C-alpha cells in the first residue's frame, strides 16, 4: 500500500538537514509523525520516526552533565505525576514547596535563592505527587534546561506575588516568552490541541501572599486582566491558607484516578492505590499490576462508591476514581 505522503511532509522533512540540536531534531520528527497518514502502508515509517524520537528523548534524559558552561537537568518521574514550579524572583516558590511537602529547600528574601532545580514529594490523600522547584525566570533570564523540564512535565504551577508590581503583566510577558519556544501554557480544564511542534502544558496560576492587606484588591485586578483564560488560586505559603484547595486542584489537573487491587478472599489495602490516567480500562490496570494478568485475564470484579458491589465486568470496562478491582486469571 503506498504511503501517500503529503507535500507538507516533504517540506518539513527538509528541515532535518539544517537542525543543529537534538531538541530541534526531536521537534521536527514529532511534527513529521503528526503529518504521516495513519494506515497500514505507513506503519514502518511511523515506527522509524517513533524510534528516532525515543532515542533523542533518551539522550536528553541522561543524568545532569556539565558541558562548557551549560547545565542539563532531568528528573525521573515518580508518584502520580510531575509538576514544575516556575515564576519570577521572590514570589515564594521555595516556601510553597516546603509548605506542600516535607522538603527543606533553601529559602531567602533575596532574588535567585534557588540556583538549581529541587525535587520534592507532596502527599495528597493516599498518593504522592512530584514537585520540582526551579530557579526564577524573567523575560531576560530563562535557561535552556528550563524549557526542557517544562516540555516533559505533567503540569505547571506558575507562581506570582499578589503584593508585587503588575503580576498580570509579568504573567502575560512570560507566557509570550515561553510561546516563542513552542511551549504554550493552558488552563487545567482546557482540551489539549492535537499536533506538533507546540508543547501544550496544563497550568495553574497560583498567587501567593493572599494574607497581605492589599491582596484582595490586587487579586480582582489580576483575575480581570487574565480574561477568564485562567482561574488564579490565591494562597499564603507562609500561613498555609489555601494550600489544601491547591492540592485538590493539582490532583484534578493531572487527570488521574486512584484504583485499588484486591486479592480474592482478602481485604483491600486502601493505602496503596495504583494511579492511572482517566479513561483507563480494566485491561490497563491489569497490565500495570503484572504482564501475566493482562495475558491471562478472564474477568474482573469491581466495587465502586456508587454503582458496583462486586459485579463482574469485562476487560474493556472504564474505571473511575477509587474503584476496587479484583482480577481473575
What is the structure's pLDDT at 33?
83
Burial class of residue 319, CB neighbours in 10 A (0-12, 13-18, 19+)? buried
Domain spans of the chain? 7-60, 67-254, 256-328
Question: Which SS3 state, helix, strand or coil, does residue 257 take?
Answer: strand
Instruction: Report the alpha-carbon distance of residue 86 to residue 198 in Å, rounded.
Output: 19
C-alpha cell at 214: 492589599
Residues in the chain: 329
Q: Measuring CA to CA, which residue among 52, 73, 71, 70 is closest to residue 61?
A: 73
Query: Fold for domain 256-328?
Result: Ubiquitin-like (UB roll) (3.10.20)
DSSP-assigned letters across all residues of 155-193: EEEEEEETTSS-HHHHHHHHHHHHHHTTEEEEETTSPPP
Instruction: Report the alpha-carbon distance of residue 185 to residue 281 in Å, rounded.
Output: 29
Q: Specify the pairing of strand 82-86 against strand 127-133.
A: parallel
What is the structure's pLDDT at 68?
43
**CB under 8 Å to 36, separation ≥6 — which residues?**
3, 5, 9, 42, 45, 46, 49
Q: Which CATH superfamily is domain 67-254 in?
A: P-loop containing nucleotide triphosphate hydrolases (3.40.50.300)
C-alpha cell at 102: 516535607
Could you tell me if 35 and 8 are in contact, meaning their C-beta atoms sit under 8 angstroms apart?
yes
Please name every residue paired with 131 in a beta bridge, in sequence order, or none if there are none: 83, 120
What is the structure's pLDDT at 182?
92
What is the structure's pLDDT at 195?
67
Angle at 273 between CA 271 and CA 279, to 5 degrees: 150
For the entire predicted model, the pTM comes to 0.74
Could you tell me if 98 and 240 are in contact, meaning their C-beta atoms sit under 8 angstroms apart?
no
**CB under 8 Å to 64, separation ≥6 — which residues?**
71, 72, 73, 74
DSSP-assigned letters across all residues of 91-120: S-HHHHHHHHSS------SSTT---S-EEE
Q: Do domains 67-254 and 256-328 have the same CATH topology?
A: no
C-alpha cell at 313: 465486568
What is the structure's pLDDT at 107?
59
Instruction: Centre a 10 Å sphere on the Cβ of residue 33 and count the other Cβ atoms it contains.
Output: 18
Instruction: Report the alpha-carbon distance of residue 123 to residue 296 in Å, rounded.
Output: 34
| Digitized pLDDT (tens) for each residue of the chain, 329 residues in all | 566 777 777 777 877 777 767 777 887 887 788 788 888 888 888 888 888 888 887 776 554 444 444 567 788 888 999 999 999 988 999 999 999 997 776 655 544 455 689 899 999 999 999 999 999 998 888 888 899 999 999 999 999 998 877 888 899 999 999 999 999 999 998 888 876 688 999 999 999 999 888 888 888 889 889 888 899 999 999 999 999 999 999 999 999 999 999 998 899 999 989 999 999 999 999 999 887 777 888 899 999 988 899 999 999 999 999 999 999 98
Amino acid at each position: 500500500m503506498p504511503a501517500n505522503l503529503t507535500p507538507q511532509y516533504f517540506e518539513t522533512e527538509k528541515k532535518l538537514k539544517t537542525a543543529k540540536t537534538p531538541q530541534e531534531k526531536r521537534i521536527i520528527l514529532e511534527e513529521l509523525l503528526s503529518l504521516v497518514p495513519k494506515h497500514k502502508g505507513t506503519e514502518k515509517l511511523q515506527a522509524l520516526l517513533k524510534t528516532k524520537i525515543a532515542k533523542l528523548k533518551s539522550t536528553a534524559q541522561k543524568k545532569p552533565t556539565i558541558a562548557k558552561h551549560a547545565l542539563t537537568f532531568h528528573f525521573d518521574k515518580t508518584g502520580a505525576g510531575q509538576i514544575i514550579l516556575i515564576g519570577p524572583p521572590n514570589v515564594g516558590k521555595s516556601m510553597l514547596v516546603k509548605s506542600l511537602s516535607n522538603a527543606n529547600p533553601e529559602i531567602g528574601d533575596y532574588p535567585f535563592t534557588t540556583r538549581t532545580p529541587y525535587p520534592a514529594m507532596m502527599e495528597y490523600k493516599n498518593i504522592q505527587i512530584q514537585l520540582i522547584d526551579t530557579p526564577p525566570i524573567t523575560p531576560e533570564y530563562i535557561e535552556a534546561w528550563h524549557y526542557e523540564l517544562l516540555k516533559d512535565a505533567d503540569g505547571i504551577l506558575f507562581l506570582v506575588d499578589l503584593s508585587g508590581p503588575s503580576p498580570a503583566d509579568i504573567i502575560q510577558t512570560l507566557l509570550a516568552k515561553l510561546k516563542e519556544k513552542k511551549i504554550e501554557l493552558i488552563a487545567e480544564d482546557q482540551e489539549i490541541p492535537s499536533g506538533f511542534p507546540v508543547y501544550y502544558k496544563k497550568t495553574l496560576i497560583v498567587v501567593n501572599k493572599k494574607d497581605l492587606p492589599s491582596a484582595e484588591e490586587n487579586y480582582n485586578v489580576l483575575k480581570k486582566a487574565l480574561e477568564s483564560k485562567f482561574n488564579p488560586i490565591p494562597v499564603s505559603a507562609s500561613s498555609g491558607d489555601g494550600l489544601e484547595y491547591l492540592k485538590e486542584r493539582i490532583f484534578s489537573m493531572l487527570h488521574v484516578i486512584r484504583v485499588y487491587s484486591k486479592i480474592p478472599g482478602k481485604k483491600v489495602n486502601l493505602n496503596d492505590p495504583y494511579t492511572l490516567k482517566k479513561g483507563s480500562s480494566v485491561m490497563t490496570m491489569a497490565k500495570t499490576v503484572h504482564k501475566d494478568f493482562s495475558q491471562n485475564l478472564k474477568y474482573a470484579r469491581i466495587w465502586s462508591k456508587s454503582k458496583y458491589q462486586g459485579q463482574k465486568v469485562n476487560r474493556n470496562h472504564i474505571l473511575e476514581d477509587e474503584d476496587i478491582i479484583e482480577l481473575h486469571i
